[in-house]
Amino acid sequence: MTDKVKIRRNSGTTHESDGLVSIEELMPAVGTNCVYHPESAVTLSDNHQGRLVILTGECEVTIPADLRPGFSCGWAQASEDAITFVAGDGVTIRSFGGSDTSGGQYALGGIARMPDGEFWLYGQLQ
């Protein structure tokens, strides 16, 4: 069983309510929720929603078409090895200048699914 905490939403308003949430559900709202990937290939999933994906070596990150509407996550390059972002089947990736490779060690950025279904890749790219 997962421990739950009680939180009060909209305190002092007519919409005030209490609810139970797990720590895992609460963490993304209160701080950086990191997930480390040492693999050389990663396919994003809904489990990456709202997380900072830290890539610790050369890696190809695939963005699949089945990510939820409103999906977003951050990414970080922890090593000197490049990170390349690739579109899964049926996916369109947009980025400034068409860049799809991380900019260098400690580069940061994000991926956001836009309302039209395209994915925007942003941050320190080259």
pLDDT digit string, tens, across residues 18-38: 777 776 666 656 567 899 999
CA–CA distance, 15 with 31 (Å, rounded to integer)? 25
Residue 88, C-beta contacts closer than 8 angstroms, at least 6 positions apart: 43, 62, 63, 64, 65
Q: Which domains does the chain have, with CATH numbers?
A: 1-28 (no CATH), 32-123 (2.60.120)
Instruction: Please state which of the ranges 10-19, 67-76, 82-91, 104-113 shows the lowest mean pLDDT.
Output: 10-19
Q: Tell if the pTM clears 0.95, that is, is over it.
A: no
Percent of the chain with pLDDT over 90: 72
Instruction: Give burial (CB, 10 Å; 0-12/13-18/19+) of 85.
Output: buried
Averaged pLDDT for residues 72-94: 97
Averaged pLDDT for residues 33-58: 95
Using pLDDT thresholds of 50, 70 and 90, give the confidence band for residue 65: very high
Averaged pLDDT for residues 103-115: 96
Give pLDDT, residue 1: 47
